[in-house]
Chain A
Amino acid sequence: MLGEFEEIVLLAVGVLHGNAYGVTIKQEIELRSKREISVGALQVTLRRLEKKGFLSSKHAPPDTTRGGRPKLYFTLTAYGKKTLQQTLEIRVGFWKSLPEAILKMS
């Protein structure tokens, strides 16, 4: 089962589709969720997800930008995609069985 932040990070990587590295992921999440996240939290989560097998990473060849430091690109693994799918289904299942009356704002 994914944590909430983990899920968002995975989704962000998926959305960026091939252009997902530290900075872009952070921007994407901040843009969509309207909240600021720290580099530390993001990095730790990314590495954890990678270790669990949801993400894979690859160094791009270094160029002259960013002080010559290479970017580390992340991509969703098949297992990552499947887990996202499962999470979605569980949520949808909940939503479906939620009585409509509850959602009505009184």
Chain B
Amino acid sequence: MIPRLPLKLLKRFCKPEYHIDVEGDLIEMYEERVTMLGRRRANFLLWRDVILLFRPGMIRPFFEQHTHSNMSVVRHNILISFRSFRRRKTAFFINLGSLSTGLTCALLIYTWIASELSMDKFHENDERIFRVRANYPSPTGINTIDYTPSPLAEAMVAEVPGIERAVSMAPMGSGIVTYGTKDVPAEGFFASIDFFRVFSYKLLHGDNTGLVVSKSLATKLFGNEIEAIGKVVDWTHPMRLQGPFAISGVFDDVPASSTWHFDIIFPYDKLAEGDRYSTQWNSSYAFTSLLLRADTDIEALNKKIAGFVISKDPGTKGELFVSRYSDKYLYDEGRIAYVKLFSLVAIFTLAIACINFVNLSTAQASRKIKEIGVKKALGVKRSTLIGQFLTESVIMSCLSLMIAAGVSLLFLPYFNELTGKQLTLDLDLKPVAFVLVIGILAGSYPAFFLSAFRPAEVLKGKLINNSGSEVLARKGLVILQFAISIVFITAFMIVNRQIAFVQTRNLGYSKDNIISFFWRGEFDAMKFESFVQEIKNIPGVLSASNMGGSILNRNYSLHNGFTWEGQVGNEKLISFPSPTISHGLIETLGIELKEGRTFSKDFQGEDTKMIVNEAAVKMMGFTDPVGKTVHYGTDRKEIVGVVKDFQFGSLHTELRPVFFMYAPFRRDILIRLEPTFDQRTLERVQAVYHKYVPKYPFDFTFVDEDYNRLYESEIRVSSLSAWFAAVATLISCIGLFGLAVFSCERKMKEIGVRKVLGASSMNIVRLLASDIIAPVFISILIAVPISYFIAANWLDGFAFRIELSWWFFVLSAGAALLVTWITVALQTYRAARANPVNSLKVE
């Protein structure tokens, strides 16, 4: 082996830029010499060569020349920054506190927004995947339906240019997969053959010609995923499809950012086997998605396909159009509004924190002024000073980011609960870069402002009196801060009141102590009758009944085609909530009967009868409704009862006419319990349920909880707005506190003189505080109209809403004033109480 020492020596003295190839030459020669001359000779020659290389021209300079670098300046700036933090601890902690609070807020919101925006974006072809929707004209406007005829996908690929592939899909609901003795509940899904080619759900093994199961389902059933292929499992589903199926493939579990969730995929053709209507052009069974060619013009495509279904079946009315598949999550249910809202909240909270930084830095200018004067006199350039201040603010924001990251991590579980998501905090480059920008932005005003002082004036001892415009700017910023805070506080109060209103409003039925569940096993009316009998025998159970759909979901049971004697308008075309219910349902829900009777099993031919609500009676114009006839399509139905109006669905919608029709075989079961029910009651109900439905789990919900879930996003906004209002006000007050501290320090002498001349502490507090609190009054003037506008806008989304009364605004303005007054008074009172001797003695 080549001796190390000479080479080390060479590395020591040789110019680094020459070293590597010279060493290479030496190694090459050494190896050759070893074979030619032997190791001893080669070693000697190597030593000789190295020693002879030690000559001018090869030796590196003894003293490294420093090329002028900015590193030392940066190092100096960092040092100075930390020293100034240590010297001005109050300012440092105030800044750090407000900035990290603001950043925590922003960071949490950022993770939420990022997760909202990433929904359905994981598909590689995302930009080219579109879904087909249909617009149906109706007297009340246009209804947009996401489902289209089953044959559409295939026909479009064949007939419309610009479409590469098309997939028909349909969610199926949950069923049970049975293999041997194992029963596993699973979420079913229909999808046509190109499903895995259009979407980026990963097919791990096999293909999708038959049944495809998820990795985790396969593991649950067979122990591992590869075993699954070729196995035959039994599928039990309450409505659609039953029987043995062979598994042909396994796909990777659906990611959380997918809006569809399924464990088992059936070929789309299977949908048609159980349901002969599903292949017709006048039905809407398929969620059709298209993979367009990259150059397809969407506008032109929409024009081309608008009449596509109508051309296949002139009896249909739906006009097709396409929209981005990944817009489904954000735009269909208005989630984008919340994304925008919270982006604004994040920006505002951060703005408030930045304003604190700017205000405090400029307010304490007088303390830094000497340092700047000396530096300038010594010939430091202005740009260097600016650099120094910017370094300070960037360090500050980086420190805050670290704290904010820690605090966010702490709050994340709680935040997840609030948002109903599984968010994780990953600090990638974006937030870090963003924080640097924030640091520079927040730091730039003080940097330019402070570095502009003239050294001669400063050093001569001329006092820096804050110029009028600068004070004005500072006040303007305070006004902005408090305006934002007040808007937040008002928003919080109004949202909260509305939620309370919604939750306590009398709905016309009693939603408490009712459990509901979907009967998933075999079902017939007789069997259910004996089930009800057994359930009723359980102590704590009052009654039970069944219906189709839910009292909370108005859209489930919308039907049109109602006609009656004396009908004048086009009500026939309007869809009314018309749920099918069994006997005992109206009693179970506690809807009040006004006239006539409810459905009963004691009467024959109940399916030709109908029960309506007061609104329906009013619409139809009947004075004596019981006994009148209403036609539903070709069916004649006789009104046997009238119930009082009740709220069907959420309070976002108006009270509407309701037509109850009789059907004893529906599977949505409602059970009313006594208010004193306990866990034992529920366990007994479950035992009876399992006697009738052995396979399926008993997953029930409470109707009042389901009702609250209708307002999930509002409740979310309400609890989040509470936090943001608190945070915004807190940060603003921290800033105001800082301003008070410095204004007291600056006016120490003045306070001393005044006290000596006989001013009381209260006088002085008023003097100091009024200066600081005045801007808060102006911000109230600005904030009230803005928050009124926002609140009125938001409340318009409810059919039943609270009135916007003046006291909301007075209260929130009062709250803001009170908090600021306390903050400022605390500080100023301390200054006012100080012994004037101390401040006057010092010179």
Residue A18 lies at the interface, judged by CB distance under 8 Å to chain B:
no
CB of A21, distance to nearest CB on chain B (Å): 7
What B residues does A8 contact at CB under 8 A?
none
A70 near B57: Cβ-Cβ < 8 Å: no
As a 0/1 sequence over residues 8 to 31 of chain B, the CB contacts with chain A under 8 angstroms (1 = contact) are: 000000000010111111111101
Give B46's nearest chain A residue, CB to CB.
A39
- Interchain CB contact (< 8 A) of A39 among B2, B25, B56, B57: B25
Q: Is B53 an interface residue (CB 8 A)?
A: yes
Q: Would A39 and B52 count as touching, CB distance under 8 A?
A: yes
Q: Does B49 contact A (CB under 8 A)?
A: yes
Q: Which residues of B contact A69 (CB under 8 A)?
A: 20-21, 23-24, 27
In terms of DSSP, what is the predominant structure of the interface of chain B? helix
Is A40 at the interface (CB under 8 A from chain B)? yes
Contacts of B52 in A (CB 8 A): 38-41
Asked if residues A43 and B18 are in contact (CB atoms below 8 Å), the reply is: yes
A9-17, A59-67, A78-86, A96-104 - interface stretch: A59-67
**A38 / chain B contacts, CB cutoff of 8 Å:** 48-49, 52-53
Q: Are A40 and B21 in contact (CB under 8 A)?
A: no
Q: Counting CB contacts under 8 A, is B58 at the interface?
A: yes
Chain B CB within 8 A of A47 CB: yes
Partner of A22, one of B2, B22, B54, B58: B22
Q: Of residues 632 to 672 in B, which have CB atoms within 8 Å of A's CB atoms?
A: none
- Tell whether A44 pairs with B58 under 8 Å between CB atoms, given A39-B52, A39-B53: yes
Contact indicator B24/A40 (Cβ below 8 Å): no
Q: Which of A23, A26, A47 contacts B57 (CB 8 A)?
A: A47
Query: Which residues on the A side are within 8 Å of B48 (C-beta)?
Result: 38
Evaluate contact between A23 and B49: CB separation under 8 angstroms: no
Q: How far is the CA of A78 from the CA of B670 in the complex (A)?
A: 97
Chain A residue with minimal CB distance to B17?
A: A47
Secondary structure dominating the interface of A: helix
Indicate if A48 sits at the interface (CB-CB under 8 A).
yes
Q: A59-B21, A69-B20, A72-B21 are in contact. Are A43 and B28 (CB under 8 A)?
A: no
B37 to chain A, nearest CB (A): 13
**A70 CA / B31 CA spacing, docked (Å):** 16
Say which residue of B24, B53, B55 sits within 8 Å of A70 (CB atoms): B24
Q: Closest B-chain residue to A72, C-beta based?
A: B21
- State how many angstroms separate the Cβ of A83 from the closest Cβ of chain B: 20
Within 8 A of A (CB), among B27-57: 27-29, 31-32, 48-49, 52-57
Q: Are B55 and A40 in contact (CB under 8 A)?
A: yes
Residues of chain B contacted by A44 (CB below 8 angstroms): 55-58
Beta-carbon contacts of A18-48 to B below 8 Å, as 1s and 0s? 0001110010000000000011110110011
Contact A43-B20, Cβ < 8 Å, known A21-B25, A22-B25: no
* Number of residues from A at the complex interface, CB < 8 A: 20
Expressed in whole angstroms, the minimum distance between the Cβ of B163 and any Cβ of chain A is 49
Given A40-B55, A43-B18, A66-B27 contact (CB < 8 Å): yes
B26 → A minimal CB distance (Å): 7
Please measure, in the bound complex, the distance between the C-alpha atom of A48 and the C-alpha atom of B56, giving whole angstroms. 11
Give the chain A neighbours of B28 by CB distance below 8 A.
23, 65-66
Q: Within 8 Å CB of A26, what residues of B?
A: 25, 29
Bound Cα distance A99, B29 (Å): 46
Docked-complex contact B24 and A47, CB < 8 angstroms = no
Contacts of A39 in B (CB 8 A): 22, 25-26, 29, 49, 52-53
**Bound Cα distance A71, B25 (Å):** 7
Q: Within 8 Å CB of B56, what residues of A?
A: 44
Residues from chain A with a CB closer than 8 A to the CB of B24 are 22, 66-67, 69-72
B24's closest neighbor in chain A, by CB? A69
Q: Which B-chain residue is minimally distant from A51 (CB atoms)?
A: B57
- Bound together, the chains give a CA A14 to CA B54 distance in angstroms of 27
| Distance from B607 Cβ to chain A, minimum over Cβ atoms (Å) | 87
Task: Select from chain A the residue with minimum beta-carbon distance to B20.
Answer: A69
Q: How far is the CB of B7 from chain A (nearest CB, A)?
A: 9
Distance in angstroms between the alpha carbons of A71 and B56 in the assembled complex:
22
Question: Which residues of the other chain, B, contact A40 by a CB distance below 8 angstroms?
Answer: 49, 52-55, 58
The residue in A44, A59, A70 that gathers the most chain B C-beta atoms within 10 A of its C-beta is: A44
CA distance A65 to B31 in the complex (A): 10
Cα separation A72 to B20 with both chains bound (whole Å): 9
Determine the distance from Cα of A44 to Cα of B55 in the docked complex, in whole angstroms: 8
Which of B18, B22, B23, B32 has the most chain A CB atoms inside 10 A of its CB?
B22
Contact B49 A70 (CB under 8 A): no
Contact A67–B27 (Cβ < 8 Å)? yes
Closest residue on chain A to residue B56 by CB atoms: A44
Question: By the criterion CB–CB under 8 Å, are A22 and B49 in contact?
Answer: no
The CA of A78 and the CA of B10, in the complex, are separated in Å by 33
| Nearest Cβ on chain A to B53's Cβ, whole angstroms | 4
| Chain A residue with the shortest CB-CB distance to B49 | A39
| Cβ distance A69 to chain B, nearest Cβ, rounded Å | 3
Shortest distance in angstroms between A30's beta carbon and chain B's nearest beta carbon? Answer: 11
Q: How far is the CA of A48 from the CA of B58 in the complex (A)?
A: 10
B53 touches A21 (CB 8 A): no
- B32 partner residues in chain A, CB cutoff 8 A: 23
> Which listed residue (B2, B25, B53, B55) contacts A23, Cβ 8 A?
B25
Q: How far is the CB of A26 from chain B (nearest CB, A)?
A: 8
CA distance A59 to B53 in the complex (A): 21
| B29/A43 in contact, CB under 8 A | no
Closest Cβ–Cβ distance, residue A61 to chain B (whole Å): 12
CB neighbours (8 Å) of A21 from chain B are 21, 25
Chain A residues lying within 8 Å of B55, measured Cβ to Cβ, are 40-41, 44
Q: How far is the CB of B22 from chain A (nearest CB, A)?
A: 6
Query: In the complex, how many angstroms separate the beta carbon of A5 from the nearest chain B beta carbon?
Result: 13
Given contacts A23-B28, A39-B53, contact A70 B21 (CB under 8 A): yes
- In the bound complex, how far is the Cα of B23 from the Cα of A23, in angstroms? 11
Residues of A within 8 A of B49 (CB): 38-40
- Expressed in whole angstroms, the Cα–Cα distance for A23 and B31 within the complex equals 12
CA distance in complex: A43, B14 (Å): 11
Q: For residue A29, give the distance in angstroms from its CB to the closest CB of chain B.
A: 14
Complex-state Cα separation, A22 to B20, whole angstroms? 12
- How far apart are B54's CB and chain A's nearest CB, in angstroms? 7
Q: What residues on B are CB-neighbors of A65 within 8 Å?
A: 28
- Check B21–A71 contact: CB distance below 8 A: yes
Question: In the complex, what residues of A have CB within 8 A of residue B25's CB?
Answer: 21-23, 26, 39, 43, 66, 71
Residue of B28, B29, B55 with most chain A CB atoms under a 10 A cut-off: B28
Q: Please name all residues of chain A whose beta carbon is closer than 8 Å to the beta carbon of B53 when the two chains form the complex.
A: 38-40, 43
Among B18, B24, B26: residue with most chain A CB under 10 A: B24
Contact with B along A83-95 (1 / 0, CB 8 A): 0000000000000
Q: Which residue of B lies closest to A22 (CB)?
A: B25
The CA-CA distance from A47 to B2 in the complex, in Å, is 26
| Chain A residues closer than 8 Å to B29, beta-carbon distance | 23, 26, 39
CB distance from A55 to the nearest CB of B (A): 14
Alpha-carbon distance between A47 and B53 when the two chains are bound, in angstroms: 13
Task: Give the CA-CA distance A97 to B31 in the complex, in Å.
Answer: 49
Question: What are the 6 A-B residue pairs with the smallest beta carbon separation, nearest first?
Answer: A69-B24, A22-B25, A72-B21, A40-B52, A40-B53, A44-B57
Chain B residues with a Cβ under 8 A of chain A: 2, 18, 20-29, 31-32, 48-49, 52-58
10 intermolecular pairs with C-beta atoms under 8 Å apart? A22-B24, A23-B32, A38-B49, A39-B52, A40-B54, A41-B55, A65-B28, A66-B24, A66-B27, A69-B20
* New A-B contacts (18) at CB < 8 Å, excluding given A38-B48, A67-B24: A22-B22, A23-B28, A23-B29, A26-B25, A26-B29, A39-B53, A40-B54, A40-B55, A41-B55, A44-B55, A44-B56, A66-B24, A66-B27, A66-B31, A67-B2, A69-B20, A70-B21, A70-B24
